[in-house]
A and B are shown apart, each in its own frame.
Chain A
C-alpha cells in the first residue's frame, strides 16, 4: 500500500484530468466547477508531496522517483498552478480564453512537469517534457481569435519542437554510447565516458535542448514574443513552472553527476551561457516599454543567474538553484498577477504609461508590485536576495569568483529597469484615468505570493537547510 501512497500526487493529477474532461462534457456551469476542482487537486497533490518529503521511493522498475527535493519541485509546480488558476478565474473572461480546457491543459502540463522532476530514466524525462510542452503550445494560443496569441503559439511550437529534436538526438547519442537510458547507470559509467566524444556530444545536445526550455541566451528568441502574445496568467506560468521544470530535469541528470564526485566538465558551456544570458537579459530589458516584454527579458537574465549554480557544480550550487527557483516562482507570479489585474480588455494597459501614478490610484496593487520588483532585483530582505546570495556563494566556493562578480554587475544593471517601475508608480503623476476590474481571487493569489516572498526572505535558513539535507 505504501507504494500507491507515495504516488498519490501523480494519481491525483492524472485522475483530475479525466474527471475535469467529464465535467467539461456534462456539467452546465463547467468553467467554475473545473477551476475550483483543479485548485483543490493542485493543493492536495502539492501538500501531499510536501508532507511526505522524507519518503524516498523508486517506482516502475526504477524509472520514477519521489521524495526529497523531487517533492519540493512537485510542490512548487502544483502550488504555482493553483495560484495561476486563482489569477485566471476573472482574468480569463477579460482576455477571452475562458474555456474549461484551460484548466485541463494546466493540469496535464503539471503532470508532465512532475514526470520530468521525478524521472530516473531519459525516456521519462522526454515523456514529461512532451506532455508539458504540447500543453504549453495549446495554452499559448487558446484564444484563436487573437492574432498575437496565434503567433505566440506557432512560434513556440516550431522552435520548441526543434529544441525537442535536439534533446531526442542527444538521448539517442547517449544511448548509443552507454547502451542504457537509465540515469543511475549512466552516472556509474560517467567517469570512463568523459573521453567518449559520442557521449559528450549527446550530453551537450541534451543540454542545448534544455537551455531552450530554460530561455538561456542564444536560445531565447521565442521568449519575448511568446510572453507578450499569450495571456498574462499563462505567461506567468511559462516563466515560473516551465523554467523550474526544465531546471529540475537538468538537475536530475547533471546533479547526479556532481554527486558522483566528477569535476564539472560542462563548466565552459554553462559559464558562457550564464554570462551572456545575464548581461543580455538585463541590458535589453532596459529598452522595453511593454511590461510583459520587460518581464520576459528579466526571465532570460534569471536563467543566467540559475546557470551560475549549475556551472559551479557543487552541492551548494544545486541547493541554491532549488532555493532560487522557489523564490523566483513566487516573486514572478506575484508580478505577473499584478500585471494581469491591471491589464484592461483587449490587451490594453500593458505599457509603462499605464503604471504612472499607480500608487495614488491603486495603492495596494502598487505596493504588491513594488515588493515583487524589489525581490526580482535582489534587494534584501526579500526572497530574491537570498536566492542570488546562495548561488553566488556556491560560485565563489568552486573558484568562480569572477562569475559571481559578473552576476553582481548584472544585478546592478537590472536594478535600473526593476526600480523604474517603482519610480513610475510612486513618483510620477498623470492625468490619465485607469479603470481596474475588481478580482478578489486574483488579488488573493498576488497576496499569497507576496507573503511567501517575504516569508522566504525573512527566514531563508529553514528552506535551504531542508533542501541541503536531501543533497548530502
Chain B
C-alpha cells in the first residue's frame, strides 16, 4: 500500500537532513560578525519595514510586462529545440514552420513595443 511512497519519503528526509546540516554547520563553523544591516530581513534591496503604500515609477511595471515576451519565448523554444530531431522525423518540416509562425507573432509584438517607444526609459 504505502510502499510505493517510500521514494518520496527518502527524498523528503534527504531534503530535511541537508537543510539542517548545512544551516547548522555554517552556524557552528562560520565566523560571526553581525551588524545591523546583516541582521535585517533581506527584501531585494528595499526597506523591509515601512509604509506599504509606497509609490514607484510605472516604468518598472512596463519592464516587467516586456520581460514576459522574452520569458514566454524561451519557455516555448527550449523544449522545441531539444525535441526537434525526433519531432522532425515524425512530422516533417511543419514542425519548423509552426515555431516560425509563433516567433513571427511574438516578434511583431516586440516590434510594436519598440515603435511605440516602450524601451525608452526617459
Contacts and interface: CB of A to CB of B under 8 A. Distances in A.
Most buried by A among B104, B109, B115: B115
Interface string A7-37: 0000000000010011011100000000000
Interface string B94-122: 00000000001100110110011000000
Given A21-B112, A22-B108, 11 more contacts: A18-B104, A18-B105, A18-B108, A21-B108, A21-B109, A24-B112, A25-B111, A25-B112, A25-B115, A25-B116, A26-B115
Contacts of B104: 18
Interface residues of B, number: 8
A26 to B, nearest CB: 8
Contacts of B105: 18
A21 B111 CA distance: 9
Interface of B: 104-105, 108-109, 111-112, 115-116
Report, as a range, how many residues of chain A touch the other chain.
Answer: under 10
Nearest to A104: B112
Nearest to B116: A25
13 contacts: A18-B104, A18-B105, A18-B108, A21-B108, A21-B109, A21-B112, A22-B108, A24-B112, A25-B111, A25-B112, A25-B115, A25-B116, A26-B115
Nearest to B111: A25
B90 to A, nearest CB: 15
A21 B113 CA distance: 10
A63 to B, nearest CB: 16
Contacts of B108: 18, 21-22
A24 B113 CA distance: 11
Contacts of A25: 111-112, 115-116
Contacts of B109: 21
Q: Which 9 A-B pairs have the closest CB atoms?
A: A25-B115, A21-B112, A18-B108, A21-B108, A25-B112, A18-B105, A25-B111, A24-B112, A22-B108
Interface of A: 18, 21-22, 24-26
Contacts of A21: 108-109, 112
Contacts of B115: 25-26
Contacts of A24: 112
A52 to B, nearest CB: 24
A25 B109 CA distance: 11
Nearest to B115: A25
Contacts of B112: 21, 24-25
Contacts of A18: 104-105, 108
Nearest to B105: A18
Nearest to B109: A21
A22 B112 CA distance: 8
A172 to B, nearest CB: 22
B120 to A, nearest CB: 15
A18 B111 CA distance: 11
Contacts of A22: 108
Contacts of A26: 115
Nearest to A26: B115
A25 B115 CA distance: 6
A25 B104 CA distance: 15
Contacts of B116: 25
A159 to B, nearest CB: 21
A21 B109 CA distance: 8
A89 B22 CA distance: 67
B95 to A, nearest CB: 16
A47 B117 CA distance: 38
B1 to A, nearest CB: 22
A26 B104 CA distance: 17
B111 to A, nearest CB: 7
A18 B112 CA distance: 10
Nearest to A25: B115
B72 to A, nearest CB: 14
Nearest to A24: B112
A274 B49 CA distance: 50
Nearest to B104: A18
A21 B114 CA distance: 12
* Residue of A24, A25, A26 with highest tally of chain B CB at under 10 A: A25
Nearest to B114: A25
A25 B114 CA distance: 9
A139 B9 CA distance: 51
Contacts of B111: 25
A215 B19 CA distance: 51
B112 to A, nearest CB: 5
B96 to A, nearest CB: 19
B106 to A, nearest CB: 11
A251 to B, nearest CB: 30
B89 to A, nearest CB: 20
A450 B93 CA distance: 51
A329 B115 CA distance: 37
A4 to B, nearest CB: 13
